[in-house]
Amino acid sequence: MKETAINIKAQNKPGVLRDITDMLAGYGINITYTHLFLEGKDSASIYMELEYVENVEKFINIIRNFEEVSKIEIHRSLGEIYGKRIIIIGGGAQVAMVAQGAITEADRHNIRGERISVDTIPLVGENELAEAVSAVGRLPRVGALVLAGSLMGGKISAAIEEIKIDHEVIVISLNMPGGVTEKADLVVTDPVQAGVMAVMAVADTAIFDIKKIRNKKF
């Protein structure tokens, strides 16, 4: 069943989210994704992606009847708009080169109807990098993680193991000293090519199966 995405603008007060989710449960509606953020001191936005919404118009009218709700909007889901995500983490120069390859390749597939987005963060320090890698497991729609640096190991390697156990994330590493190359699904020397291969690995419009070359270096 196609997901229904809604954004609710409501008063920022205790119990509002609870009341809305209680109502959803009462109608047998399942929440597949939600994000709440403050827009001001007294107002907040609640974004939700829902399944099993049988009558959208009736459902919207029910939410409008909540006293605390000021506005409700229906949208396409984030998956339909932004699609699968490529996350690139590492040193600034390497991240920029991987992003160049990923963005160029994503554009080629997105023109044909695919949806792939690219997120980057340049970081230094083992603890900072390990924390960022671990946080990938808490992000939605991540298809591939690219580690772009000149030396990574230790806690970063442990963080890779952690996300690969609990999440279906493809990990690609640049060829570098350190233990991350032993944990990655694929090791690529050329940073531009690493970005290209990350997109090809997650794209439905690409004829590329990473399982056939997993644990190899290029």
Identify the CATH number of the domain in which residue 183 sits: 3.40.50.10550
In angstroms, how far apart are the furthest CA atoms of the chain?
A: 60
Identify the CATH number of the domain in which residue 42 sits: 3.30.70.260
Q: How far apart are CA 55 and CA 57, in angstroms?
A: 6
Asked if residue 12 has pLDDT above 80, the reply is: yes
Structure tokens at 150: 């000149």
Tell me the mean pLDDT in the region 84-102: 95
Q: How far apart are CA 46 and CA 70, in angstroms?
A: 12
Which helix (H) or strand (E) segment holds residue 8: the answer is strand 4-11
Which residue has better confidence, 2 or 146? 146
Q: How far apart are CA 196 and CA 131, in angstroms?
A: 25
Residue 130 CA, distance from chain mean position: 17
Asked if residue 4 has pLDDT above 60, the reply is: yes
Q: How confident is the model at residue 142 (pLDDT cuts 50, 70, 90)?
A: very high
The residue out of 63, 78, 93 marking a domain boundary is 78
Mean pLDDT of the chain: 91
Tell me the mean pLDDT in the region 145-161: 93
pLDDT recorded at residue 54: 84
pLDDT recorded at residue 180: 93
pLDDT recorded at residue 40: 78
Percent of the chain beyond pLDDT 90? 70
Task: Looking at the structure, tell me whether residues 136 and 195 fall in a common domain.
Answer: yes
Q: Are 65 and 43 in contact (CB under 8 A)?
A: no
Q: Are 4 and 32 in contact (CB under 8 A)?
A: no
Q: What is the pTM of this model?
A: 0.86
- What 3-state class would DSSP assign to 183? helix
pLDDT recorded at residue 159: 93
pLDDT recorded at residue 160: 93
Q: What is the pLDDT of residues 179-204, one digit of tens each?
A: 999 999 999 999 999 999 999 999 98
Which residue has better confidence, 152 or 213? 152
pLDDT recorded at residue 1: 57
Least Cα distance to 95 among 130, 75, 117, 120 occurs for 120
Q: Which domain holds residue 168?
A: 82-217
Strand order in the sheet with 142-148: 116-122, 84-90, 142-148, 170-174, 186-188, 216-217
Task: Looking at the structure, tell me whether residues 45 and 93 fall in a common domain.
Answer: no
148 backbone dihedrals φ, ψ, rounded to 5°: -115, 100
Q: What is the pLDDT of residues 104-129, one digit of tens each?
A: 999 999 999 999 999 999 999 999 99
If one counts the domains in the chain, the total is: 2
Q: Are 185 and 177 in contact (CB under 8 A)?
A: no
Which helix (H) or strand (E) segment holds residue 59: the answer is helix 56-64
Task: Looking at the structure, tell me whether residues 38 and 22 fall in a common domain.
Answer: yes
The residue out of 53, 78, 103 marking a domain boundary is 78
